[in-house]
């Protein structure tokens, strides 16, 4: 997920809040004020982060069931690379969000307690 996509997701969430509160675009109300009126904080991006982390934990804990998927995520399948810039990978998002290496993420994903703590940290802010 690119930074641009993250910003669009946050903008979409605030647009939904504005629709719920029936705030017109002509009223010139800031995003902070909208969040205060809703008595909430931005949640959609947190949900995406939690779901990606939970899915990684699910895949890495079931060795026999998701063997091929694990190899794909770990980059062990060799193939010819297409032209153009590489897309931001699913794993690269997790590395950036949690400031961990791939090996650290894989190690953490096999431990349910560590994954639960990481998810709790996301939800708490």
Domain map of the chain by residue range? Answer: 3-38, 44-124
What gap in Å lies between CA 10 and CA 45, rounded to an integer? 7
What gap in Å lies between CA 118 and CA 50, rounded to an integer? 9
Give the SS3 label for residue 79: coil
Q: What is the 8-class DSSP label of residue 25? A: G
What gap in Å lies between CA 74 and CA 95, rounded to an integer? 13
Say which range, 5-9, 52-56, 80-84, has the weakest mean pLDDT. 80-84
* pLDDT computed for residue 77 by the predictor: 67
Q: Where are the alpha helices (DSSP H) in 1-125?
A: 3-21, 31-38, 44-61, 67-74, 90-98, 102-109, 112-124
What gap in Å lies between CA 68 and CA 36, rounded to an integer? 46
Burial of 73 (0-12, 13-18, 19+ CB in 10 A): buried
pLDDT digits (tens, 9 = 90+) for 21-53: 999 889 989 999 999 999 988 888 899 989 988
What pTM value is reported for the model?
0.73
What gap in Å lies between CA 64 and CA 24, rounded to an integer? 53
Q: The tokens of 51 are what?
A: 């779901």
């Amino acid at each position: 997920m690119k930074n641009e996509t993250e910003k669009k997701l946050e903008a979409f969430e605030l647009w939904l809040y504005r629709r719920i509160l029936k705030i017109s675009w002509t009223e010139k109300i800031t995003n902070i004020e909208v969040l205060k009126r809703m008595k909430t904080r931005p949640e959609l991006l947190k949900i995406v982060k939690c779901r990606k982390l939970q899915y990684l934990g699910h895949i890495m804990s079931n060795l026999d069931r998701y063997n091929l998927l694990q190899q794909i995520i770990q980059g062990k399948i060799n193939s010819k690379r297409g032209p153009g810039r590489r897309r931001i990978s699913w794993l690269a998002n997790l590395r950036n969000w949690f400031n961990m290496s791939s090996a650290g993420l894989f190690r953490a994903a096999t431990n349910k307690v560590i994954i639960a703590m990481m998810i709790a940290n996301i939800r708490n802010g």
